[in-house]
Structure 1
């Protein structure tokens, strides 16, 4: 890996002496685990309320559709209005929605449709908070701090799928559903208050006021005319379409149907995913990549090869090892990808460009799920799907070794 090792203590100190980044990081430490505590509670409550698994699936669909439809709008809003205020409103709105659910629980009035409507509201909130978080970081950090800053923010996202469900499951067992949702409310409420402590400098540049549609169109034109941005967004699409669906759906199916494994076997593999990703984020928080474009493309090649091997794996432990390595490598792709996009984008366009990236990544994950489901229903084996997806990712990454503009980006 082409990187220089920095003094870790010095690197952390320079970041966390920045009060704005400190409050953004603390806010993320509250917000992301709080969301997962809510999620595990909502999922288990839905399974308890109704035996019809259609409603359980509707939880995910209800959150995905508004997120996908509104992400580009969220990017325009992020560029037109105060980013701190948007992030505050997003966290506070989610906290208040959970508080409403707590009141319904105490009144014993909760139904499956309440949870579905709540999921849709969370999806709307996500559409506005996602572009803001990634466009706010370059506004409060120096350019040379961006990689480490993104690594720490990403770290909160990797801890959350491990800590959130564990904490949520414990709270359900000890305090019941009321306890778990009160905890989620407190997490998100504290996150919103922390965000209010961020102080952004006013931009003295006066821009001509356009309609939201003109702003949205300007964002697409800006992205289309920037070869590096288009390359990064395209790689984001490829990674999420050919990787997210087959991996998320494939691992449980392989463990249960191919390895004839137990819930412990599945937990072993999924925990290795979180551990690998967390280690990757920690490594990138302590080093500076000299050639992030080269590292990203090389990492994508290795990721595709490892993913292909999963299709041929014959044991739980070997699969867990591969998954941990993939999660580590994935950080070498995702963090440089976001950092390069932040560095090469005009700050006045950051919200729109980040929303474009989120649309083709997070927003299109449900499309990957649907495509994978259709292939499985057509009789295609999940291991074959994973092998083909791994090969496609590898070939596209190899082709991008010809992308000189992407590879020559330096820290």
Structure 2
């Protein structure tokens, strides 16, 4: 599981899109994400075929429970054992589970229980996979390339969403859910050897001192860096986790979690950034998911019209990711996050009052561009502001906000639209989203945050 270790002095300082090490990581990540998309198509099809609509919905939703409950612990695991090891192990487990269900469906008709079990396994593994994925870029490239890598990652996500659904549908058409599950397992399997070949950076000296059980000094500069007690323990440094095993044994996972939460709370950039991300996601998820479906029905656009609007959003988000991947860095990152979030919130509110499909597509394109830009810049700031030794826990908190709390706005948005209509709900959602931008502009440290050049 241990790969080639490269020190900060030997890291290639050329553009990340020309670095073979980064490209291997990106290929592994994209292959895994395409496999995820195919998996969800296969799971939903198999669940509908094996049970009632209500049972199928329960199977699709059951993975969210372990993901939300275990996400913070997953960040501790990523920081304790190193993100690369955790990602490789997670992909191996997911691949084995998916292929096992594919084989079971080929041989028999087992009902819903293996599908529900697979969903639980996926949700549990995702709880450690997502924080590790977020922490890995800082270990495969230099800090000045992390923003570009964030853009490249966004392109990979868009590619997976475009390719995964048709590929899953093709698998279902060829041989049913079993074939689609087999496709998903093979795609996830491709990522494992690629990840094994990825070289890992050694943590810089100041990051090595940020041991898991230590407390970061929030007053040590805007970055909140500090030296933890026990950093001088004599022992071999784990090249991937970048920390002293002797000290690791002296702390419990709960201590690690508390230290990570203290680190975020005391960080002058990360703390307000987390709040801005939470508000932005809460105001964005409801309208652009269930709200858009109800809006299309209200306007008489139909499924095709809704599809065009979603395509506009996806195009805008892809353009934002491409911009960051090509430019590598945008100046005044804190300002960009704040103003993009504010402008995007205005576009979200306007979407409910556009009468035509063509106009809605244009507004959705603008929303995708602004939301994609603010989201990518938030991700880049998380990558560059957090010490790599804490990055798994930082990513876990961010992922919990986006994937655990923000989806709660969907049933609330649906109920509110049923009571008051689309216009007022979209406007309220826009205000919530805009509050995230206001925080980014009002908190001095976040407003002045820059990406390394």
Give me the TM-score of the superposition, normalised by structure 2.
Answer: 0.83
How far apart are the structure 1 equivalents of 2:296 and 2:104?
38
- 1:325 matched to 2:366: yes
1:250 aligns with 291
* Mapping 1:68-87, distance limit 5 Å: 68-87=68-87
SS in 2 for 1:227: coil
- 1:291 matched to 2:332: yes
The one-character-per-residue Cα deviations of 1:211-260 (angstroms, maximum 9, x if unpaired) are 0010101111111111211111001111111211232101111112x122
Pick aligned residue for 1:281 from 321, 328, 353: 321
**Alignment root-mean-square deviation, CA:** 2.0
How far apart are the structure 1 equivalents of 2:293 and 2:269?
36
Instruction: Give the CA deviation at 1:16.
Output: 4.2
1:351 aligns with 392
How far apart are the structure 2 equivalents of 1:155 and 1:117?
31
How far apart are the structure 2 equivalents of 1:236 and 1:366?
13
Instruction: State whether residues 148 and 285 of structure 1, in contact with CA within 8 Å, keep that contact through their aligned partners in structure 2.
Output: yes
The one-character-per-residue Cα deviations of 1:166-205 (angstroms, maximum 9, x if unpaired) are 2211332234323222111110011122111123241665
Residue 356 to residue 395, structure 1, CA distance change in 2 (3 Å): closer
Instruction: Give the CA deviation at 1:59.
Output: 2.8
Residue 393 to residue 55, structure 1, CA distance change in 2 (3 Å): same
Instruction: Give the CA deviation at 1:410.
Output: 2.0
Instruction: Give the CA deviation at 1:302.
Output: 0.7
2:214 aligns with none
1:192 aligns with 192
- 1:240 matched to 2:241: no
SS in 1 for 2:343: helix
1:176 aligns with 176
2:244 aligns with 206
Instruction: State whether residues 64 and 366 of structure 1, in contact with CA within 8 Å, keep that contact through their aligned partners in structure 2.
Output: no
How far apart are the structure 2 equivalents of 1:116 and 1:25?
30
SS in 2 for 1:409: coil
1:308 aligns with 349
Task: Name the structure, 1 or 2, with higher relative contact order (CA <8 Å, separation 6+).
Answer: 1
How far apart are the structure 2 equivalents of 1:230 and 1:305?
25
Unaligned runs of 5+ in 2: 1-11, 203-238
Residue 261 to residue 43, structure 1, CA distance change in 2 (3 Å): same
How far apart are the structure 2 equivalents of 1:381 and 1:113?
39
How far apart are the structure 1 equivalents of 2:93 and 2:388?
27
1:64 aligns with 64
Instruction: State whether residues 240 and 362 of structure 1, in contact with CA within 8 Å, keep that contact through their aligned partners in structure 2.
Output: no
* Mapping 1:1-400, distance limit 5 Å: 14-50=15-51, 52-200=52-200, 201=202, 202=239, 205-206=243-244, 208-209=247-248, 210-256=251-297, 258-287=298-327, 288-376=329-417, 379-400=419-440
Unaligned runs of 5+ in 1: 1-10
How far apart are the structure 2 equivalents of 1:211 and 1:317?
56
Instruction: State whether residues 34 and 184 of structure 1, in contact with CA within 8 Å, keep that contact through their aligned partners in structure 2.
Output: yes
Between the two proteins, the alignment pairs up a number of residues equal to: 398
How far apart are the structure 2 equivalents of 1:35 and 1:290?
34
Instruction: State whether residues 62 and 117 of structure 1, in contact with CA within 8 Å, keep that contact through their aligned partners in structure 2.
Output: no
How far apart are the structure 2 equivalents of 1:338 and 1:400?
14
Instruction: State whether residues 281 and 433 of structure 2, in contact with CA within 8 Å, keep that contact through their aligned partners in structure 1.
Output: no
2:3 aligns with none
SS in 1 for 2:62: helix
Instruction: Give the CA deviation at 1:365.
Output: 2.9
